Structure 1
Amino acid sequence: MPPWSLVSPASRGIGFALARRVLQTTNAPIVATARKDLDKTKDELLQGLNVDEKRLTILRADVLDESTMADAAAACKDKFPPTLHQLQLSFIIPGLLFPEKSPTQINADNALVTFRTNTIGPMLMLKHFSPLLPKKNSSTSKDGEKMEGLPPVSTTAIMSARVGSISDNRLGGWYSYRASKAGVNQLVKTFDNHLRTASGDNAMAIALHPGTVKTGLSKEFWGSVKKEKLFEREWVAERLVGVVNKVGVRGRGKCWDWDGKEVPP
């Protein structure tokens, strides 16, 4: 079955770079989402790329508004019926950070929107998009040309962070962000367990740690990061796509960093 890809959101930051990377390195259709300015997002994603613009579809999706996620999934189901097409690669990567350095800086409203964005948003994306993934008895794509640049197993990749690792937590701080990303790791493991039953080896889920990337999310901390550890988003996108393509079913349900190394839970 012909494959397609999903990047949500893709209007800026790592998601923007990932969508452009997938456009450049595959010839499969791609759905990218944004909360607003859909036409502007499409123009910016295609700028400077020698690709068929018909491959790119922009849909509205807001992880704080479940109805938009449901509508986007319904549109994808109409465009790519699961009996005829295969969702081969999904990047689900919303992110929000309030850097609480001490418990006294915790704000309930900020913590709640952090969890809604980083953890519950991806959870609801899985709710609505998981029916589009191949089932255990699905005839998976065998078209080598169309699969070029895509993982051999349908892969859902959700953005986590090294600070979501409980065993790696040596510094503390960032209470709501750490907890929300630890929740992402649990979400990925739980969803992958579901896929083991529903899809067998035809679909899997992983979490990703991109490192510290030059995006609006991390801008406040650029000065405290060693130059060699502060990454450009295009470079990170290239590495993450490479990791997703190489992990394979043996690495399912785990968190992997930009260098292909496992981040412990």
Structure 2
Amino acid sequence: MSKPWALVTPASRGIGLQLARHLLKNTDVPVVATARKALDTTRSHILDGLDVDEERLQVLQLDVTDESTIAATAAKTSSLYPSSSHHLRLAFCIPGILYPEKSPQQIDPENSLQMLKINLLGPLLLSKHLTTLLPRKSSSVNPHPNLPPTATLALMAARVGSTSDNSLGGWYTYRASKAGVISLAKSVDIYLQQRCGEKAMCVALHPGTVKTDLSKEFWAGVPKEKLFNGDDAAEKLCGVLEGLGVKGRGRCWDWKGAEILP
């Protein structure tokens, strides 16, 4: 029987840090977390206060703007958890950066390129290397407590990436990058249907407004009941994936489990 493991990239702070902690606390599977730098610090922050087997956590160096580090992480995890006996059950791919653009005149080419590289090209390259670690049609995969019933590659989108929901405009590059993630999730999922059947799927997620550095400028305008701490967001997103099932594949889902249309 193939044994599951999980991955969160990046996991040095914010939602990623809390997702890694949530998986360590609520499952018994190995967890791989990544960071661009300060790996020991990231490991310390993830494990802080947790009563878990620390050997379950691996922290690897990964920069989504450098494909060689993504390939190296995939190779290392393949060595740690070989496909002959293991499979990637849940991968959160959540790189993100935001430079506000309230009017077209505020668009800066360097900032826009950075957002596209991290928010869209990052998940694209992660998908390239991580899809090979998901179970194949022939894999023997059983249900596992507090994990999705279907192996899941989860990409971080946002409600502002929905073209049909866009009534305010603004945030031009950020919107475009997140719209791209929603489209990417659909395309990657079609590939996984062909390669993995119902054993693996790809979805996009919207976590709501979370108290992270990325969203700090917008906290004041968000109702208290819709402004989440990182641990709240992690619990809600994992809960959505646990209950989604293969029928939810290829689409974008928010923290309540409601679909966000493209």
TM-score range, shorter chain: over 0.9
Please name the residue that 1:244 is paired with: 241
Please name the residue that 2:34 is paired with: 33
Per-residue CA shift, 1:186-222, capped at 9, x if unaligned? 1000000000000000000100000110000001111
CA distance in 1 between counterparts of 2:47 and 2:26 reads 13
CA distance in 2 between counterparts of 1:99 and 1:75 reads 36
1:261 aligns with 2:258: yes
Unaligned runs of 5+ in 2: none
Please name the residue that 2:118 is paired with: 117
What is the identity, as a one-letter code, of the residue corresponding to 1:194? Y
Please name the residue that 1:66 is paired with: 67
Once the 2 structures are TM-superposed, how far is the Cα of residue 34 of structure 1 from its aligned partner? 0.4
CA distance in 2 between counterparts of 1:129 and 1:227 reads 36
Per-residue CA shift, 1:161-199, capped at 9, x if unaligned? 000000000000000000000000010000000000000
Once the 2 structures are TM-superposed, how far is the Cα of residue 136 of structure 1 from its aligned partner? 1.3
What is the identity, as a one-letter code, of the residue corresponding to 1:3? P
CA distance in 2 between counterparts of 1:3 and 1:196 reads 19
CA distance in 2 between counterparts of 1:98 and 1:110 reads 7
Percent same amino acid among aligned pairs?
56
1:176 aligns with 2:177: no
Please name the residue that 1:3 is paired with: 4
Please name the residue that 1:80 is paired with: 81
Query: Following TM superposition, where does structure 1 have runs of at least 4 consecutive aligned residues deviating by more than 3 angstroms?
Result: none
Per-residue CA shift, 1:2-40, capped at 9, x if unaligned? 100000000000000111001111000000000001011
TM-score after normalising by structure 2: 0.98
* Secondary structure, aligned partner of 1:10: coil
RMSD: 0.8
Once the 2 structures are TM-superposed, how far is the Cα of residue 231 of structure 1 from its aligned partner? 1.0
Per-residue CA shift, 1:90-111, capped at 9, x if unaligned? 0000011111000010011111
Once the 2 structures are TM-superposed, how far is the Cα of residue 224 of structure 1 from its aligned partner? 1.8
Of 194, 199, 211, which residue of structure 2 is paired with 1:202? 199
Of 141, 150, 155, which residue of structure 1 is paired with 2:152? 155
CA distance in 2 between counterparts of 1:116 and 1:219 reads 22
1:215 aligns with 2:212: yes
Once the 2 structures are TM-superposed, how far is the Cα of residue 229 of structure 1 from its aligned partner? 1.7
* Secondary structure, aligned partner of 1:207: strand
Unaligned runs of 5+ in 1: none
Once the 2 structures are TM-superposed, how far is the Cα of residue 139 of structure 1 from its aligned partner? 1.8
